[in-house]
Amino acid sequence: MTGVTARPAATVLVLREGAQGFEVLMLHRVARGFFGGLWVFPGGKVEEIDHSDLAREAVAVPEDADDLPWRSAALRETIEEVGVAITDPPLAEPLRAEGAAVFEQVLAHEAVLDGRRLRLLSQWVTPRSAPVRFDTRFYLARVEEDTAPEADPAEATEACWVPPRLALERAADGSWPMIVPTRHHLEWLAGFDDLAAAWEAAGRARIRPVEPIVERDGSEVRITLPDAARLP
């Protein structure tokens, strides 16, 4: 049986230095939609605006990059959902906007969204049996220690900085529900002692699409990850 087409999407593991080691930015989705009620990293679908001339003007990417729409979506969604703008030069005030207005406001401040500060870490594709599928690129980014997120109430009930190990503990005790890709990337982050080591490792990533294998045995569901899921 042919599954539904996977929609292009992008998400960002935004990292900063914290008092107890480095932290990652996470948000708690409102209770609606495909990811309703889950704890996730900022991100969302690649929209038509991310393919536009406006995006090409407002988003700076590495010279050899062929993924501008994904970097555009990652940076745009991070502003829309949690108000964190990764720009060059840095903005002196918080930015609140959606869609094309994100790019217009950044340009009005004589800045660009800085896709050069993103490192592509992995690519995950929702299994073919799922009713809704995404082809999601995961990026890593570093921001200043004093970066303060503010959740858009239409998108999330909370946004916060959290050490990866603590996020995993909350997932394990059931207080922070998560899907497999989120936990997998948190487990990878938790293996590093400092932010610099995680950033350096991300630069060695070999990008191969990861499609989890779902097996059902009666009421039990087992999810197995292919070798492509191994992170550097």
The model's pLDDT over 90-142, given as tens digits with 9 standing for 90+, comes to: 998 888 999 999 999 999 999 999 999 999 999 999 988 888 899 999 999 99
Average pLDDT over residues 51-67: 96
Q: How confident is the model at residue 218 (pLDDT cuts 50, 70, 90)?
A: low
Show the domains of the chain with their CATH numbers.
Answer: 7-229 (3.90.79.10)
203, 119 contact by CB (below 8 A): yes
Q: Tell me, what's the pLDDT at 163? A: 97
Q: Tell me, what's the pLDDT at 1? A: 44
Give exposure, 43-77, as e/b (b: 16+ Cβ within 10 Å). bbebbebbeeebbeebbbbeeeeebbbbbbbbbbb
d(Cα 140, Cα 118) in Å, to the nearest integer?
5
Average pLDDT over residues 189-214: 95
Q: Tell me, what's the pLDDT at 111? A: 97
